[in-house]
Amino acid sequence: MGIIVLFTLLICLLASVPIAISLGISAFIGMFILSPEFLVTMPQKVLSGMDSFTLLAIPLFIFAGTIMGHGGIAGRIVNMSLVLVGRVRGGLGMVVVFGTMFFSGVCGSASADTAAIGSITMPEMLKRKYPPPFATALLAAAGGTATIVPPSIDLIIIGVVASISIGGLFAAGFLPGLVNALALIGLVYYYGKKLDLPLLEPMSLREKVKVFTDGIFALLMPIIILGGILGGVFTPTEASSVAVVYGLAVSLFVYKELKIKDLHKVFLDACKLTGVVMLVLGMASAFSFLLAFERIPHEIADFIVEHSNNWVVFVIIVHVVFLILGMLMDALPALIILMPILVPAGVALGMEPIHIGILIESNVALSMFTPPVGVCLYVACGLSKVPIEDVVKPLLPFFAVLLTTMMLISFVPEITLFIPRLLGYLN
């Protein structure tokens, strides 16, 4: 039966059926084969997959990110980044990296992050004669890899599905995110020299002070949210509520770029993205239940452990699996389906669950900008109006650099575990 279910899922994905529908069809067929009476459990499993207090953080962080994009917060983060690196060759490209990392630290959504920062920086890059395919590749790679920076929605899902401390995952994401950012900045600097990218106009001290003064409330947002989570002031779910309230207050009453009459559009944009995510979560929950009922995850985990001499071999297997899946399907169902399989297998080989979660999220970050289903790549191409096929070649150096950092994060566990251990999430 398990083979039939997995084959059905594969056929649906190859036929370009939406992932939520593909998972639902596969789960329905599997339960029908077991017993028609078994189908009564499917609605229950779909609803239970969405009915979680922890998952409430997802729509709220999405809402917070939408508010930031409409309310001028994202723009001010970009302006502050310009002050820091604007006079460096390729500085505007570095701003894309800084901006996505900062913005991702609140909004939690890679696609929203890419769209918000890209809508500000892409026109500027094109105006300053950045090669459009290069600018598109840079935005896609920066937006995708920023998903590892807390409070990433993917990390919340990993924590819920695999029963890993979400606070621990958030703490673990900082240093890997920094490693990725520095690697991208180094690559941008190299191409800034190679392509002779233009420098930005110099700013007076008065202008710099004005930018930082104007952006202080925008900068405080990720500090308050992440500081509160890591300091134990509030949980990730409570932090998402704080992000919404703070973002609304700053956007409406401080910067005044978000009007009351525009709130319906903000709500609508957030609801559209939330609806997609939650529907996939619900259908994936029913699908995962079916696999667990047939003990398929346990059998696969036993197989991996049996054929893995040590954790290094296991890590290589994980990377190969996710690199292949990342080119075929969206990251969300892959996480939901595979995390219950891979985490027990990794733990059996002596790995920390938090480390497993971060190395898997590193793979997800790569899949965010690799064709044919990389969502950040589609967003970036939409902003630059560059066909995807023209972006593939300039994307390769970014992929190579981030693949290297992923291997570094994977095989040097302390990069991931240092901060969680420091904060007491690990013994």
Highest mean pLDDT among 96-105, 135-144, 196-205: 135-144
Answer positive or negative: Cα dihedral of 105, 106, 109, 111: negative
Q: What percent of the chain has pLDDT over 90?
A: 17
Q: How far apart are CA 97 and CA 259, in angstroms?
A: 29
Going by C-beta distance under 8 Å and a sequence separation of 6 or more, which residues neighbour residue 287? 5, 9, 23, 24, 26, 27, 30, 333, 336, 337
- Under the banding of pLDDT at 50, 70 and 90, the label for residue 79 is confident
Report how far apart, in Å, the C-alpha atoms of 393 and of each of 134, 191, 371, 388 are: 9, 14, 12, 10
- Do the Cβ atoms of 410 and 402 come closer than 8 Å? no
Q: How far apart are CA 22 and CA 90, in angstroms?
A: 43
Residue 301 has what pLDDT? 66
Residue 108 has what pLDDT? 59
What's the mean pLDDT in 155-161? Answer: 86
Residue-wise pLDDT for 372-404, tens only, equals 667 788 888 888 888 888 888 999 999 999 999
Q: What letter represents residue 156's amino acid?
A: I
Instruction: Write out the H or E segment, with its range, that includes residue 248.
Output: helix 236-249
Q: How far apart are CA 284 and CA 303, in angstroms?
A: 23
- List the domain boundaries for the chain: 53-278+294-422
Residue 1 pLDDT > 70: no
End-to-end CA, the chain:
42
* Of 305 and 176, the one with more pLDDT: 176
Highest mean pLDDT among 192-201, 230-239, 397-406: 397-406
Q: How far apart are CA 316 and CA 158, in angstroms?
A: 20
Strand, helix or coil at 370? coil
Q: How far apart are CA 11 and CA 398, in angstroms?
A: 32
- The pTM for the full model equals 0.78
Structure tokens of 197? Answer: 């990218």
- Do the Cβ atoms of 80 and 212 come closer than 8 Å? yes
Q: How far apart are CA 209 and CA 283, in angstroms?
A: 50
Residue-wise pLDDT for 168-196, tens only, equals 998 999 899 999 999 999 999 998 888 88
- Do the Cβ atoms of 231 and 50 come closer than 8 Å? no
Instruction: Write out the H or E segment, with its range, that includes residue 137.
Output: helix 132-145
Residue-wise pLDDT for 252-295, tens only, equals 998 888 888 888 888 888 888 778 777 877 887 787 777 777 77
- What average pLDDT is seen over the chain? 83
Going by C-beta distance under 8 Å and a sequence separation of 6 or more, which residues neighbour residue 379? 111, 114, 115, 118, 140, 143
Q: What percent of the chain has pLDDT over 70?
A: 93
